[in-house]
Amino acid sequence: MENSKVKSRKTIRIPRLGKADTTKILLSAIFISSVFIPLIRMLAYMDSDSIRRVLDSPNFGTAIKNSLVSSILSTVITVILAFTLALCIQRTGIKLKTVFSTTFMLPMLIPSISIGMGLTILFGNNGVITKLLSLNENIYGLQGIVMGSVMYAFPVAYLMLADVIRYEDGSPYEAAKILGIPRWRQLKNIMFPYLRKPLISVVFSVFTLTITDYGVPLMVGGKYTTVASVMYQEVIGQLNFGKGAVYGSFLLIPAVIAFLIDLFNKDKGNSSYVTKPCAMSDSRILKAFAYVFSILTVVFTFLPIFAFILQAFTTDYPNNLSFTLDNVSHALRLRADEYLINSIIIALCTATLGVIIAFLTAYLSARMKSKTSRFLHLSAMTSAAIPGVVLGLSYVLTFNTTPIYGTLIILIMVNIVHFIASPYLMMYNSLSKINENLESVASTMAISRMHMIKDVFIPQCKFTLLEMFSYFFVNCMMTISAVSFLATTMNKPVSLMINQFEAQMQLEEAAVVSLMILLVNLIIKLVVYVIKGISNRKIVSK
């Protein structure tokens, strides 16, 4: 009896974790702690008095209603616009598709607050178009928020929908055409079922983007207050962190719901093998419509940029429209060049470190499958559920007594956490598409993992790495949400000067800063495009 007990005790084995699993758990812990510990700290900062004051405030119910109304309207218009543009570019035989698609992306290269400011210059009380057309109505209020939000969000929706439509299999449409099925029934029974799940993801992505943005409402909202703009004013204007935390918790609810729906909505069926690309429509009517719709969207996209140029390089708009560089000189005297250097340093550091962390995480979760891989994958995606304005406030409350507070380190740190989900997913998808047997072959030939990463995976994913770097850099240059509560006068990113100048009625200087950000981001995008072109030519020549 005694021997059997000894034997039974000896048969119990505690599973030992390998180095890869230990690294995965460590990375998961870092991701979770960098998101949830600050969030818990923010939620703990709320006291009964702050909650009571927010709930009793007459502005609270109005702000909630306004946020929902403006975001729902913006989402509906944005998705319809993006879907129509995606069909125009991907399903008709029009020319200049690359030019159109590139132009549609311009609003992604400037802060949302710049878009709002551009609309103010165009449609404000003294706006260019207001005076030109003698309009009685101005931009301020619900109409301004919806217009700015659509401009801010539609490039994201367009990219997502165009990518899905581009890779749709054309065989069902060919069969339907042979069977004489009308085009409207093809859309109803083939396209919409195929697009159902991607469309849900787009809807919730756009809704989250618009309801958590405070840049556009601050500029063109007027008396039409939203939760995000009220939260910003409570924290920045009145340093009321308790009430800010309460408003932040309300912004967290729709963002988390959208993240969970998107997470469980992923459908591998939509990435099926394409046997035949969809045929382009040769209908003259459809092509004419595609040209007109695309050109109108390009004009609409260029309007804020035109407004910046007009405001930045005229002596005294609208009284004196003569060309001048005085506004640029004045912006530089107010340290715009120093803050621009801050932004570039933050963006470069964030992009470099972010790409390394995202690649390592994606490699561990996609190429070294184990029970901990799924946990690591979900951990890396958690930051996608947190709005930048909420993340920024939570970092203030967590790190305000630490040595890194008020330094570039915390700005780089919060940007990495804020933006890492999308680059990680890019690399995860790229690595997942590479032959899964490569590691087994390498092990048989005694090739180390490091050599495989250096000689196989990095060359295979070099374009994805470039896109990841570009994503981090561009978003760091234009973000105002996560960094707005953390920056000081010494390390402030240049994007935060836009709101400062606008508050002081220095719209000319704010326009100059917006053009600076746009120019830097365009240069980065051009560099990425040139590197890709050189690499493609080398591949073709071989």
**Residue 92: strand pairing partners:** 281
Three-state SS sequence of 335-375: CHHHHHHHHHHHHHHHHHHHHHHHHHHHHHHHHCCCCCHHH
* Residue 237 vs residue 381, higher pLDDT: 381
Q: Give the pLDDT confidence score for residue 370 in this predicted structure.
A: 82
Banded pLDDT at 542 (limits 50, 70, 90): low
* Torsion on CA atoms 293, 296, 301, 302, rounded to nearest 10: 150
**Residue 9: strand pairing partners:** none
Measure Cα distances from 260 to 90, 334, 381, 384, 385 in Å.
Answer: 30, 44, 11, 10, 8
**How far is residue 32's CA from residue 262's CA, in Å, rounded to a whole number?**
19
Here the tokens at position 415 are 């940007």
394 touches 383 (CB < 8 A): no
CB-based contacts of 282, cutoff 8 Å, min separation 6: 93
Q: Give the pLDDT confidence score for residue 541 in this predicted structure.
A: 66
pLDDT digits (tens, 9 = 90+) for 481-501: 889 889 988 899 999 999 888
Question: Taking 50 as the threshold, does the pLDDT of residue 1 lie above it?
Answer: no
Handedness of CA 523, 526, 532, 536 (dihedral sign): negative
Kind of pairing, strands 320-323 and 314-316? Answer: antiparallel
180: left (phi over 0), alpha (psi -120 to 50) or beta: left
The predicted model gives 227-238 an average pLDDT of: 84
Banded pLDDT at 198 (limits 50, 70, 90): confident
Question: Taking 60 as the threshold, does the pLDDT of residue 12 lie above it?
Answer: no
Question: Taking 50 as the threshold, does the pLDDT of residue 184 lie above it?
Answer: yes
Question: Taking 90 as the threshold, does the pLDDT of residue 445 lie above it?
Answer: no
Our measurement of the distance from residue 496's CA atom to the centroid of its chain's CA atoms, rounded to an integer in Å, reads 18
The predicted model gives 360-373 an average pLDDT of: 89
Q: Give the pLDDT confidence score for residue 266 in this predicted structure.
A: 59
pTM: 0.87
Residue-wise burial string across 440-460, b where 16 or more C-beta atoms lie within 10 A, e elsewhere: eebeeeeeeeeebbeebbeee
pLDDT digits (tens, 9 = 90+) for 27-43: 899 998 998 899 998 88
């394409």: which residue's tokens?
Answer: 274
* Residue 533 vs residue 351, higher pLDDT: 351
pLDDT digits (tens, 9 = 90+) for 318-364: 777 788 999 999 999 999 999 999 999 999 999 999 999 999 999 99
At residue 196, what is the residue type? R
Banded pLDDT at 268 (limits 50, 70, 90): very low
The predicted model gives 72-82 an average pLDDT of: 96
418 touches 350 (CB < 8 A): no
Question: Taking 80 as the threshold, does the pLDDT of residue 185 lie above it?
Answer: no
Query: Would you tell me how many other CB atoms lie within 10 Å of the CB of residue 341?
Result: 12
Residue 480: CA count within 13 A, CB half-sphere: 26
Nearest to 90 by CA among 290, 331, 256: 290
Please state the length of the chain.
Answer: 542
Q: Give the pLDDT confidence score for residue 14 in this predicted structure.
A: 44
**How far is residue 9's CA from residue 5's CA, in Å, rounded to a whole number?**
6
Q: Give the pLDDT confidence score for residue 540 in this predicted structure.
A: 63
* Residue 163 vs residue 317, higher pLDDT: 163
Phi, psi of 320 (to 5 degrees): -135, 110
All structural domains of the chain, each given as residue ranges with its CATH number in brackets, are 18-46+320-542 (1.10.3720.10), 57-309 (1.10.3720.10)
Least confident range from 15-29, 228-242, 449-463: namely 15-29
Question: Taking 50 as the threshold, does the pLDDT of residue 532 lie above it?
Answer: yes
Percent residues over pLDDT 70 in the chain: 92
Phi, psi of 204 (to 5 degrees): -75, -30
Here the tokens at position 445 are 């030939």
The C-alpha angle with vertex 96 and arms to 281 and 310, in degrees rounded to 5, equals 135
Average pLDDT, rounded, for the chain: 86
DSSP string over 256-298: HHHHHHHHHT--GGGG---SSBPPPB--HHHHHHHHHHHHHHH
Residue 98: CA count within 13 A, CB half-sphere: 1
The predicted model gives 165-186 an average pLDDT of: 74
Please return the burial class of 69, using the count of CB atoms within 10 Å of its CB with bins 0-12, 13-18 and 19+.
middle
Here the tokens at position 484 are 């707005």
